[in-house]
Amino acid sequence: MTALEDQARAWIADDPDPQTRAELEQVLADVRSGDADAVADLEDRFSGLLQFGTAGLRGALGAGPARMNRVVVLRAAAGLTAYLQEERGAPDVTVVIGYDARHNSDVFARDTAAVVVAAGGHAMVLPHPLPTPVLAFAIRDLGADAGVMVTASHNPPQDNGYKVYLGDGSQIVSPVDEQIADAITAVPDAASVPQAQDGWQTLDDGIVADYLDSVSRVVAPGGPRALRIVHTALHGVGSQVARDALARVGFHDVYSVAEQESPDPEFPTVAFPNPEEPGAIDLALDLAREVDADLVIANDPDADRCAVAVADSDGWRMLRGDEVGALLGDHLLRRDWPVDAVMANSIVSSRLLAAMCAAHGVRHEQTLTGFKWISRVPGLVYGYEEALGYCVDPTQVRDKDGVSAALLMAEYAASLASRGATLLDALDDFAATYGHHLTDSFSVRVQDLALIGDVMARLRATPPSSVGGQRVASVEDLARGDGGLPPTEGLRYLLDDDTRVIVRPSGTEPKLKVYLEAIDADRASGERRLAAIRAEMERLTAPA
């Protein structure tokens, strides 16, 4: 333990933050007292440097190299700046920096600006906590070389993250992530990183107004606007921007969930600040029933995702991400597009959009999971992934944007309502035309990441010959690049009845994710098949 304690002492000496220094001092004191939990905690904190990848950095706040803290951020900022300067061949790189309202987001943003300026670059910091899509917009609008968003999106309260975009407004992909990671590794410690005391530019709310001007143009002027909307920001930073955007395009009958309207890094009313999680939008549904709303819209804490709930015969229900993706696709397919226009979605999303595009004569592409891939499709006019991410205006925001998606959903719902129809009627029309595309998914959460590797290895060593009573017609190992896409960890099964199963590790959380899709002319039949296949896959993916 002496070597580990020496590492901790060296970390404390390098750490500029008195709070994390004191935190680590307490862990060391508990270790010396013989506390076994403290020993395990110390080992975990020093299990390696928090890895920089295509999602940037994301992890629990705290002291140590395997946590999110000022030491890690200072080294990351220095490495990113060095990479940009080498690529440009000049020191005067420009970086736009945004941040949400999580614990220490403002501190990490300020540290990043201080490092960029000290290295000879120009840093522009957004004026206050704002949604991620505002940062993604600002990069392109201001002509920056890169952007940093300090956010952990919909992760739990104890986490924070560091998301990096390049100058075209796209998230980084390989090999850039490895090159930036190498540049970070080359920074020996935080003490060696120069920091300016001032000199960065703090932008004013003009950048927010420019974003709102841009996002408002996704909606056609003069259409129906008779719609009562309930909106929740889930304690994140999207409330004011989303409401301002809705008002700009004519939606004024909007109610906010008061308990979740203001940013709060503790997310006190939800067990998990993700609109996909059970119970997360219960307060919004309660308010919708109270005010007799037509539509519920929920953004995740950094407002890059958009969830939608509608009233049905049993009350209110949240639409699946694929349902929203198809509705937005249908709405956009009704517009005139150039011959080279492309719509895209990720491999784990429904195949319905592809069928819709074929019927409308619009090219469709399938990509790997994540908007770092979707946003790079040439000619893209619309892209989505089933995890509530929608890119409806890639010329302005080359990433998922929960605000612009909310505007388009409100426009489509109001247009249908003016004809006496609903979003559910539109989904019924899709089923009648293309068959019921029934999707489901589940996650296997683990404490030990090695268990995910064990499950994947087991599935490769002994692949199932049938699932839920259906023969496995083909197996694609996505890690080998099967299916014509760049290699990524995952397996894709196609069953005899055209049901599709995909198994892949999450890129941002310690869990294995399983995605299912069945296509059937009869909904009840498809649901029975999907339930049987899900039960079998839950058994096959359970850690040993």
Q: Among all residues, which ones are annotated catalytic?
A: 153
Tokens of 36: 């076994």
Q: Which amino acid is at 235?
A: H
Three-class SS of 345-385: EECCCCCHHHHHHHHHCCEEEEECCCHHHHCCCCCEEEEEE
∠ CA(155), CA(317), CA(534), 5° rounding?
Answer: 70
State how far the Cα of 151 lies from the Cα of 402, in Å rounded to an integer.
Answer: 15
Exposed e or buried b for every residue in 254-279, given b needs 16+ CB within 10 A?
Answer: bbbbeebbebbbebebbebbbbbeee
Q: Is 385 exposed, middle or buried (0-12, 13-18, 19+ CB in 10 A)?
A: buried
Q: Is 42 exposed, middle or buried (0-12, 13-18, 19+ CB in 10 A)?
A: buried
Q: How far is CA 176 from CA 43, 121, 172, in A?
A: 30, 20, 6
Q: What angle do CA 437, 391, 278 make, to 5 degrees?
A: 55
Query: Hey, what are 182's tokens?
Result: 């190498």
Strand partners, 256: 231
Measured CA to CA, the distance from residue 145 to residue 166 in angstroms comes to 6
- Contacts with 497 (C-beta within 8 Å, 6 or more apart), sequence order: 470, 518, 529
